[in-house]
A and B are shown apart, each in its own frame.
Chain A
């Protein structure tokens, strides 16, 4: 196991607690969980790209980072308008 794969494993182990937050509690806490998950997934995709030596796949992480912006704003606006 190389360093990058170990780092990917370390980051991916943070996803179950995020899923726990996403599936339980108030809608506000769930939104925080979703935002944290999308953030960690972006970092995980970068680490996995380097770990497997498939550098062109870094574009997926780039798209994920951009989608995080749209998704987060959309959910925030939705929650603001529908209390």
Chain B
């Protein structure tokens, strides 16, 4: 086993670990909004470590660049989908998206108070 294989193994272990921690956190959190936060681990750390592992394995190949594109999509998509999902959860729970003074938030923007 050479140094390249060891680096590859470490990166892949990191990917698998981030997936497991994400899934375990999702299972552990009872509240859906809290569970939603654990999507970040596989989407950010998992995908980035996987991209690095692909680069170590295949070099600067076409497929490695496609993996970079996949990682970029996952990073951007995850933030947009998480925002939309959290907004949907709040709308379902409160019946509105807008923040009101009685919601218990630390700061309510002036345009929401009316």
Interface of A toward B, CB cutoff 8 Å: 3-4, 6-7, 10-11, 14, 17-18, 20-21, 26, 28-29, 31-33, 35-36, 39-40, 42-43, 46-47, 49-50, 55, 58-59, 61-62, 65-66, 68-69, 72-73, 75-77, 79-80, 83
Give the CA-CA distance A58 to B58 in the complex, in Å.
13
A–B complex contacts, Cβ < 8 Å, 20 sampled:
A3-B9, A10-B19, A17-B23, A18-B23, A26-B32, A28-B92, A32-B26, A32-B32, A39-B43, A46-B50, A55-B58, A62-B66, A62-B70, A69-B77, A73-B84, A76-B81, A76-B88, A80-B88, A83-B91, A83-B95
Residues of B near any A CB (own CB < 8 A):
5, 8-9, 12-13, 15-16, 19-20, 22-24, 26-27, 32, 35-36, 38-39, 42-43, 46-47, 50, 53-54, 57-58, 61, 63, 66-67, 69-70, 73-74, 77-78, 80-82, 84-85, 87-89, 91-92, 95
